[in-house]
Structure 1
Amino acid sequence: MKIMDSQSRPRPKKRWLILVGLFAVGYFDIGTLKSLGVFLEEMTDDLQTSLAVVGVAIGLCHGIAHCFAVVNVPLLKRFSAGKLIITGSSIAATGLSLIYFATSGIHFLLLMLLTGFGSSVVILPSHACVIDYFPDHFEIATTIVLLGSGVGMMTLPLLTEQLVMAYSWRGAILILGALNLHSCVTGLLMASSSQQRRVLGEPSTLAGRAQIGEDHEELVSLINEPATVDPHYIADDRNDDGVFCFIAIIARAAKKIFLDIFDIKVFRDCPRFITICMTHFILAVSFYGWIVFLIPNAEAKGISPGRAVLLTTIGGAANIFGRLTVGFQAARLNLKPQVTYCFISIVSAGAFFCNFFTKRFSILSCLAAINGFAIGGKVMSFNLLCKDSVSDERYPAALSFSSLAVGIGEAVGALFIGLLYDYTKSFDIMFCVLGAANILESCIIISPIIMDWMVAMVTPR
C-alpha cells in the first residue's frame, strides 16, 4: 500500500482537506444506497421485475464493492490510493448513471454490478489511507470519515425524494450518478501530492531489508529446486514423477507469492480475527435489511411516503450520534470494542423485535433512532475491531478481509431477505429475523472474551 513516509507527510492543512474529501466519499456511497429505497417500488413496477431481483441487485452492488476489497491489497502496493479512487469512482458513477436507460431487471442487475465493481476500488482505499494521514489522531479521523455515510443516510434520501417528484426515478438516479463523481476530486487531491511515498511494509531499517532478502532467497530456492532432480529420471517418458515434482515445487512457490500478496497469513497469526469476520458477515445481513427496507416497512404499516422518508432522517441522525459516541469515547477511554459491539447488538435486536408490535409513527421513529444509533456504533466498531486485532502493518489486509465478509454477507442477505419477503409478504417477520441475526452477532463477538474468562477461572494461580 502507498503510505506516507514519516518525513514527507502532507502539510497539516492539506491532510484535513483530504479528510473532508474522504468524508464526502462515504456520504455519497451509503447515501445513494439508502436513497434507492425512496423509489424502490416505483422502479420495480417500471422495470416489470420482482422485489427479490431488485433487492439482489442492490445487495450485490454493495456486496461486490466489499468482496473485491481484497484486490486492493496488491493494488495499493503498486498504485496510490488517490489513483484508485479516481478510477473506481469514474466506473461507479458511469454504471449508476446508465441505469437511466435500463428497461428490465436484468439491465438493472448488470449495471448495479458495474457500479459495485467501481466502488470496490474506492471504499477500502478511502478507509485504509486514514492510518497513513492521521497516525496521531486515528480514532478521531476514522470517526469523521465514517460520519460521512451517516450524514448521507440522513440527508440524501430527502434530496432524492424531491428529485423523484421533479424528474421521476430515472432522472433522480441519473443525477445521483453525477453526484457520485465527487470522489474523483478527492482522488485528485490525494494524487496531486508531490510527497514521496513508500510501499506499506517496506522496511526502513536494515533488519527489515534483511528479512525481505531472506524471503526473496527462499522463494528463488523453491523455484530452482528442480535442478537437484536427476535429469535422466525426468526424461524417462515411462515415469512422470520428476515432472510432478517440478509442478509441485512451482505450486509451492505460487502459493507463497499468493499468501504474501494478499497477506492471508493474518488468519493464522491472529486467530481471533476469524470471529470478527464472522460477526461482520452477519452484520451485513441486518445492515442491508434495515437500510433498504426501512421505508417500505413503514409504508406497509400505513405511513404516508412523505412521513416514511422522515424515518431515514431520524435514523441517519441517530446513526451519526452512534458513530460520534463510539468513536470519540474510544479515543478518550480504553473501551473494549468487543464488549461495546456486543451490547449494541443486543439493543438493536430489541428494536427489530419491537417493530412487530407497532404501527404508530412515533414508536417507529424511536425504533429507527435506536437501530440507526446501533448500526452507526457497529460500523464505527468495524474499523476499531480490525485495528485492535492486528498490527498497524496488517490493518489494510484485515480491513480488506472484513470487507470481503461484509460483501458476501450483503449478497447472501439480499437474496435471503428478498426471498423471505416474497414468501411471507411480511416486513414484520423480516425484521424479527434481523433481530435474531443481531443476537447471533453478540454471541460470536463476545465468545473469545468469555472463553478467556473461563480459562482464567479454571487455571490455578
Structure 2
Amino acid sequence: MGGAVGGGGPTGVKAPDGGWGWAVLFGCFVITGFSYAFPKAVSVFFKELMREFGIGYSDTAWISSILLAMLYGTGPLCSVCVNRFGCRPVMLVGGLFASLGMVAASFCRSIIQVYLTTGVITGLGLALNFQPSLIMLNRYFSKRRPMANGLAAAGSPVFLCALSPLGQLLQDRYGWRGGFLILGGLLLNCCVCAALMRPLVAAAQPGSGPPRSSRRLLDLSVFRDRGFVLYAVAASVMVLGLFIPPVFVVSYAKDLGVPDTKAAFLLTVLGFIDIFARPAAGFVAGLGKVRPYSVYLFSFSMFFNGLADLAGSTAGDYGGLVVFCIFFGISYGMVGALQFEVLMAIVGTHKFSSAIGLVLLMEAVAVLIGPPSGGKLLDATHVYKYVFILAGAEVLTSSLILLLGNFFCIRKKPKEPQPEVAAAEEEKLHKPPADSGVDLREVEHFLKAEPEKNGEVIHTPETSV
C-alpha cells in the first residue's frame, strides 16, 4: 500500500544497546506512562463533570473509553505516518495534539465537546506518541531489548500512581477546568520526549548515494507470517479479559462490605506490585538461556494471569482480594513487559512499525467488548464471581492459542538455510571449474573472428549509419 518512503529506520545500522538509547528509553518510559495512565487518571474529574453537565456516570465513562479506543484503533494510521515522516515529527505533532485537546476541553460547554477534545484529540495525540516511541526503542536496543521493554512498560503503573493523586489535588484547588488546563500543559512534555528520539543514521559508503528505504506505508505482508497471525489472535482474545479485574475489583470489595478507602487501596497494591514486576520480567526475558523461549514465557504469563483471575473469583474477604491483587499484579506486569518484546522478536525491526499498528487495531475491538461484556454479565447475575471466571477463561484461552499454535505450527516450519551455507552454495555455483583446460587465447580469437555466429552484429560503415 503506497510507494517507497523515507521514514523507516536505516538498514544495516547496528542497535547501539546503550549510549543515546538510554535517553530514548527515558522518553519511552514517560510516553508509556501518559498513554496508559491518562485514561484512568482522568476519571477523578468525573464527579465534577457529572455535576457540571447534569449527566450520569455512564456518560462520563465514555471519555476514558474514547481515549482507549483512539489509542488502540488508530494503530494503522500511526504506522502510515511513521513510515512516511519518521518517528520524531509524528511524536512532536502528537504531543501538540494531546496538549491542545486538554486545553480546549477546559473551555467546553457540553459533554459532547469534552468527548471531541479530551477523547478524540488528546487520544489521537497520545496514540501518535505511544507507537513511535516503541518503534524507536526497538531500533536502539537489540541485546538489551527485553530489559528496555520492561523498564519502559513500568511507566504505566508509575504514572498511574502519580497522576491520580495529582488530578485530585488539581480538582480540589482549581476545579475540573483548571485541572484540565494544567494537565494540558503537562502533556507538552510529550514534545520533549519526541525531541529525544534521534533517528539512527547509516554510515555513508564511499561512492554511494544517500540510503533509500523501500518500506511500504502499511506493510500487510506481515499477515503471511504465521507467527504474527497467531500472536494477533492470541493478543486480541487476551485483551477481552485482561482489563476486567482492575475495573471490577474495587466494586467487588465494596460488595463484600469493605469500606471505600480500603477498597480503593486494592488498586494501589496492584499498581505497586506492577511497578517492580515489569522490569523484573524484562530482565528475566533478556537472559541468554531464556530469550529464545520468550514466546513460551509470554504464554506462561498469560496462563498465570488467567489462573489469578480464577483464584480471585473464590475470594470471600478483604484479605483474599489483597492476595489476588498481589498475584494479579505480578502476572499483569509480566504481560505488560513481554507483549511488545515478543511481537518485535516475531516480525523483526523493519516490519514492526506496521505490525504494531495492525495488532493495536485488532485489540481496539477487544478493548471495547471486554469490560462492557463483564458489566452485562454482572447486571444479569449480580455475582462478581462469574465476572472473574469469564476474565480468567478468556485469558487462559489466549495462552493456549499462543502455546499450542507456536508448538504445532511454528516449530515445525521448515528451516531456512543459514546465510553462511547459502553464500557458500552460491559461490560454488558461480565458481568456474578448476580443470576446464580452455585456452583463453582460443576464446579471444573465436570472439574476434566470428562475432556474427555468437549473436553479435559486425559494425561496418554501412551498418553503423
Where does residue 219 of structure 1 map in the other structure?
none
Are 1:400 and 2:353 an aligned pair?
A: no
> Which of 310, 330, 353 in structure 1 is aligned with 2:265?
310
Per mean C-alpha deviation after superposition, the further-off stretch among 284-293 and 63-72 is 284-293
1:29-83 per-position Cα deviation (integer Å, ceiling 9, x unaligned): 2222232454556655654445444444423321221221212223223323122
Structure 1 residues 347, 143: closer, same or farther in 2, change over 3 A? closer
Q: What amino acid sits opposite 1:261 in the alignment?
A: L
Q: CA deviation at 1:18?
A: 2.9
Answer with 1 or 2: which has the greater Rg: 2
Q: 2: distance between equivalents of 1:428 and 1:180?
A: 39
CA contact (8 A) 2:308 2:328 kept: yes
CA contact (8 A) 1:52 1:418 kept: no
SS of structure 2 residue aligned to 1:262: coil
Where does residue 327 of structure 1 map in the other structure?
282
SS of structure 2 residue aligned to 1:438: helix
Q: What amino acid sits opposite 2:97 in the alignment?
A: I
SS of structure 1 residue aligned to 2:220: coil
Q: 2: distance between equivalents of 1:100 and 1:8?
A: 46
CA contact (8 A) 1:93 1:177 kept: yes
CA contact (8 A) 1:4 1:132 kept: no
Structure showing greater relative contact order (alpha-carbon pairs closer than 8 Å, 6 or more residues apart): 1
Q: CA deviation at 1:265?
A: 0.9
Structure 1 residues 349, 166: closer, same or farther in 2, change over 3 A? farther
Are 1:150 and 2:157 an aligned pair?
A: yes
Q: 1: distance between equivalents of 2:294 and 2:206?
A: 31
Q: CA deviation at 1:276?
A: 0.9
Q: What amino acid sits opposite 1:341 in the alignment?
A: F
Give runs of aligned pairs for residues 35-434 of structure 1, distance below 5 A.
35-38=41-44, 40=46, 43-44=49-50, 47-102=53-108, 105-111=111-117, 112-169=119-176, 171-190=178-197, 193=198, 197=201, 260-268=216-224, 270-332=225-287, 333-335=289-291, 336-358=293-315, 360-421=317-378, 427-434=384-391
Structure 1 residues 288, 45: closer, same or farther in 2, change over 3 A? farther
Q: 1: distance between equivalents of 2:52 and 2:302?
A: 37
Q: What amino acid sits opposite 1:177 in the alignment?
A: G
CA RMSD of aligned residues (A): 3.7
SS of structure 1 residue aligned to 2:217: helix
Where does residue 233 of structure 1 map in the other structure?
none
SS of structure 2 residue aligned to 1:19: helix
Give the count of matched residue pairs: 402
Q: 2: distance between equivalents of 1:378 and 1:109?
A: 30
Where does residue 17 of structure 1 map in the other structure?
23
Q: 1: distance between equivalents of 2:212 and 2:86?
A: 26
Q: 1: distance between equivalents of 2:236 and 2:219?
A: 20
SS of structure 1 residue aligned to 2:9: strand
Structure 1 residues 301, 116: closer, same or farther in 2, change over 3 A? farther
CA contact (8 A) 2:72 2:361 kept: yes
% identity of equivalent residues: 21
Where does residue 28 of structure 1 map in the other structure?
34
1:216-255 per-position Cα deviation (integer Å, ceiling 9, x unaligned): xxxxxxxxxxxxxxxxxxxxxxxxxxxxxxxxxxxxxxxx
Where does residue 448 of structure 1 map in the other structure?
405
Q: CA deviation at 1:158?
A: 3.4
CA contact (8 A) 2:308 2:392 kept: yes
Structure 1 residues 4, 12: closer, same or farther in 2, change over 3 A? farther
Q: 1: distance between equivalents of 2:317 and 2:173?
A: 30
Q: What amino acid sits opposite 2:365 in the alignment?
A: I
SS of structure 1 residue aligned to 2:112: helix
Q: CA deviation at 1:446?
A: 1.4
Q: So what's the TM-score if we normalise by structure 2?
A: 0.74
Where does residue 439 of structure 2 map in the other structure?
none
Q: 1: distance between equivalents of 2:159 and 2:207?
A: 43
Q: 1: distance between equivalents of 2:378 and 2:101?
A: 27
The structure with more helix, counted as a fraction of residues = 1
CA contact (8 A) 1:38 1:295 kept: no
1:158-179 per-position Cα deviation (integer Å, ceiling 9, x unaligned): 3334444444555544443332
CA contact (8 A) 2:24 2:196 kept: yes
> Which of 9, 13, 24 in structure 2 is aligned with 1:3?
9
Q: 1: distance between equivalents of 2:318 and 2:207?
A: 62
